[in-house]
Amino acid sequence: MKVYAINGSPRKNKNTATLLQRVLDGVVQVAKDKEIETEIINLYDLNYTGCRSCFACKRLEGKSYGKCAVKDDIQEILEKLSQADGIIFGSPVYWDNISGQLHSFLERLLFPYLVYDKNLSTIAPKRMPTAFIYTMGSPEEIMENLNYKLTFSKFESFIERIFTKPQVMYCNDTYQFDDYSKYESTFFSEEAKATHRKVQFPFDSQKAFELGARLIK
Ligand SMILES: Cc1cc2nc3c(=O)[nH]c(=O)nc-3n(C[C@H](O)[C@H](O)[C@H](O)COP(=O)(O)O)c2cc1C
């Protein structure tokens, strides 16, 4: 069995990546007997674009029907994901949305599986469990006031139609850089941020671990 985490942050050891790793730890811990392999895919290491609207994936009797025909760094990854036993998406919030890199990736991953028939049916070869983790500078109240969950629900509902309903987790008020005194950051209280990091992040990590533990039945 293989479970993949898709890191939509450019940073490989910060909030999003750390929580994704904890989810994978949870998967492995609970499914000990199942010989589970895990892998983090760092999107910012890869050269690719969003969907190019070539429609090769919808061309009747075409050799790419139901598949993305664009040849670049994610072609093989999309192929691997079609057979995954679990996929966890992780993104920092950028400009009130998921990161551009993950948005482009999801365009490519999901569109070939959406059929332009009367029911807009879906043809993914496998319906594996999924999850989505969002990390953001905003505290929970601001996330609620800005209605982030509504924005996030758009991709979540496509993921549900195509694969399965994602389990969702939010990590708020994240610590963005190591030493706030070195950056213009008077908008924030470093003390409050540091305390939140110290007190809340371990809970978030545990939540991520538990999410992983629930993911594969
Ligand atoms: C370009 C950019 C835009 C951001 N926009 C938002 C935003 O709209 N809302 C928010 O809550 N945080 C925003 N943030 C903060 C990040 O979402 C937050 O620090 C996140 O946890 C970073 O994830 P990482 O540590 O995995 O890279 C932004 C950060 C950057 C670099």
Mean pLDDT confidence for 153-178: 96
Atom of ligand 1 nearest to the CA of 174: 21
Alpha-carbon distance 166 to 129, whole Å? 7
Q: Kindly indicate the confidence band of residue 179, based on its pLDDT and cuts at 50, 70 and 90.
A: confident
Is the CB–ligand 1 distance for residue 92 below 6 Å?
A: yes
To test the ligand 1 pocket, which listed residue (23, 136, 193) has its Cβ within 8 A of the most ligand atoms? 136
Alpha-carbon distance 137 to 211, whole Å? 21
- Domain boundaries, position 180: 2-215
Asked whether the whole model's pTM tops 0.95, one would answer yes
- Alpha carbon 159 to its chain's center: 11
To test the ligand 1 pocket, which listed residue (9, 12, 176) has its Cβ within 8 A of the most ligand atoms? 176
Q: Say whether pLDDT at 217 is over 90.
A: no
**DSSP secondary-structure letter at 98?**
S
State pLDDT tens for residues 152-165.
999 999 999 999 99
Per the prediction, the chain carries an average pLDDT of: 96
Atom of ligand 1 nearest to the CA of 143: 11
* CATH code, domain carrying 115: 3.40.50.360
Judge whether 54 and 36 are in contact, CB under 8 Å: no
Show the DSSP H helices in 4-139 as ranges: 15-30, 75-82, 100-110
- Nearest-CA neighbor of 7 among 96, 113, 112, 134? 134
**pLDDT on residue 7:** 98
**pLDDT on residue 84:** 98
State pLDDT tens for residues 28-79.
998 777 789 999 999 999 999 999 999 999 999 999 999 999 999 999 999 9
Q: Say whether pLDDT at 8 is over 80.
A: yes
**DSSP result, 2-20:** EEEEEE-SS-SSSHHHHHH
Q: How many domains does the chain contain in total?
A: 1
**pLDDT on residue 48:** 98
- Nearest-CA neighbor of 89 among 156, 144, 13? 156
- Classified as helix, coil or strand, 132 is strand
Q: Kindly indicate the confidence band of residue 178, based on its pLDDT and cuts at 50, 70 and 90.
A: confident
Residue 11 has which token pair? 């940073």
Cα–Cα–Cα angle for 130, 15, 45, rounded to 5 degrees: 75
Q: Say whether pLDDT at 142 is over 80.
A: yes
- Classified as helix, coil or strand, 42 is strand
Alpha-carbon distance 124 to 105, whole Å? 16
Residue 39 has which token pair? 């892998």
Output the CA 16–ligand 1 centroid distance in Å.
Answer: 10
Query: What is the CB neighbour count within 10 angstroms for residue 83?
Result: 10
- Nearest-CA neighbor of 123 among 64, 186, 185, 167? 64
